[in-house]
Chain A
Amino acid sequence: MRYLHLVVTGVTGLLLILGSLDMPGTGDPNSPASRHVSPRYIEKSLAETEVPNMVTAVLADYRGFDTLGETTVIFAGAIAVLLILRTGRKED
Chain B
Amino acid sequence: MIEKQESIIIKTLCRMLVPFVQMFGLYVIMHGHSSPGGGFQGGVILGSSFILLSLAYGIDEVKRRFSLASLTVFASLGVFLYAGIGVLCVMLGGNFLDYGVLPVDEPRSMGMLGIEIGVGITVMAAMVSIFHDLITFE
Using CB atoms, name the residue of chain B closest to A49: B108
Q: Contact mask A42-63 → B, CB, 8 Å, 1/0?
A: 0000001111110111011100
Report the interface size for chain A: residues with CB under 8 A from the other chain.
30
Q: In the assembly, what is the distance between CA of A67 and CA of B122, in Å?
A: 12
Q: Which residues of A contact B32 (CB under 8 A)?
A: 53, 56
A39 to chain B, nearest CB (A): 20
* Contact in complex: A60, B122 (CB < 8 Å): no
CB neighbors of A among B69-83 (8 A): 69, 72, 75-76, 78-79, 82-83
Q: In the assembly, what is the distance between CA of A49 and CA of B112, in Å?
A: 9
* Contact in complex: A67, B75 (CB < 8 Å): no
Given contacts A53-B34, A60-B116, A91-B69, contact A85 B137 (CB under 8 A): yes
Report the interface size for chain B: residues with CB under 8 A from the other chain.
41
- Which residue in A53, A55, A75 is a CB contact (below 8 Å) of B126? A75
- Report if B68 contacts A (CB, 8 A): yes
- Report if B6 contacts A (CB, 8 A): no
- Report if A77 contacts B (CB, 8 A): yes
* Contact in complex: A71, B79 (CB < 8 Å): yes
CB neighbors of A among B92-136 (8 A): 96-97, 99, 106, 108-109, 111-112, 115-116, 118-119, 122-123, 125-126, 129-130, 133-134
Q: In the assembly, what is the distance between CA of A71 and CA of B99, in Å?
A: 18
Q: Contact mask B30-55 → A, CB, 8 Å, 1/0?
A: 00111110111000000000000000
Q: Which residues of B contact A75 (CB under 8 A)?
A: 75-76, 78-79, 122, 126
- Report if B67 contacts A (CB, 8 A): yes
B59 to chain A, nearest CB (A): 10
- Report if B86 contacts A (CB, 8 A): yes
Q: Which residues of B contact A (CB under 8 A)?
A: 32-36, 38-40, 63, 67-69, 72, 75-76, 78-79, 82-83, 86, 96-97, 99, 106, 108-109, 111-112, 115-116, 118-119, 122-123, 125-126, 129-130, 133-134, 137
Q: Which residues of A contact B (CB under 8 A)?
A: 48-53, 55-57, 59-61, 64-65, 67-68, 70-72, 74-75, 77-79, 81-82, 85-86, 91-92
